[in-house]
Structure 1
Amino acid sequence: MFVLLLLLLLLLLLLLLLLLLLLLLLLLLLLLLLLLLLLLLLLLLLLLLLLLLLLLLLLLLLLLLLLLLLLLLLLLLLLLLLLLLLLLLLLLLQLLLLLLLLLLLLLLLLLLLLLLLLLLLLLLLLLLLLLLLLLLLLLLLLLLLLLPLLLLLLIIILIIIIIIIIIIIIIIIIKIIILIIIL
């Protein structure tokens, strides 16, 4: 009888050791999952930052193009003014020169219209890029807000699993003690 009690106690100790090992393995797995989630979130943040940098570079390029177009517009306006002055001077001299200057004016006006259209297109592109930047900033803010919530949820799940394992160990110990008392 005494030998049976010793064997039961040894079995109880072995079970307790196995349960403790399982608990440690579960804790390690949960920690690995937490690390993987953190790495994924960091990678997402890095990708969003890279996209933001690219959009900023595109915005800078578009701004440079806008400046160049504005300079061209100013030059064309100056040319128009010069041509108008020439027209005023040559009105009394020759009709052919007048016609040629009128044609040049028309061409310059057409160029101005084209440049204005290009400016409008570039402004629309700038607006679209600004909207994309705002959306990316909103995504970054959402990720930064959701990161603590995910960590808190994982910690709560880990605590619940540990409590369940401890309750199972206590129930097994109580059953073994009851069996020993019955024997």
Structure 2
Amino acid sequence: PWRLEGQKTGSFEICDQLDGHAPDWHCLPVGNAGNITAYWMGYQQYGKGLPQILGGQAAGSAPIVKGEVVSKPETIATAIRIGNPARWRQALQALDESGGIITAVSDADILASWHMLAKLEGIFVEPASATGIAALKQQIEQGAIDPVDKTAVCVLTGHGLKDPGTAVEQASSPKTLSANVDALEAYLTHQDR
């Protein structure tokens, strides 16, 4: 129970950064469902409005979305590879009370959001962290969320070094150059790529 008490303060910080208001949407990955439960507790206690909650589960590990335990969950997002969440009931309550959505996103969409964070923002997260962003993108594309004049907060839950294997697998092979200045200069000026 103490973990949730600590995590709920993240909601206070979000509201403080938004001039005392909750965002319209709070998007986050859902594995064991502690985060979704804790943040919802925090918003309720902060008392300055409530967001709608958007939870993202990996398609190969989406027990809440499917409404049944997943005996062999599979996903690249190891931190949310959980087939029977400990806070399942509380997550459903948060989703119901907020008028929120829980959705399943593919590993390909998770990786696309993971790459986007690195490329556009310079942020290195574990794949599970990118799941909330993948879920938001999916719901906007499907028309379930209208982004016009809305504030959405996506919580990034884990640094990329929690799951370095994914980064290694996704990285391109090192480029071998001749040991001379001309080869280096050609490469750096994109003439030899």
- Whose Rg is larger? 1
Larger RCO (CA under 8 A, 6+ residues apart): 1
TM-score, with normalisation over the residues of structure 1? Answer: 0.15
Higher relative helix content? 1
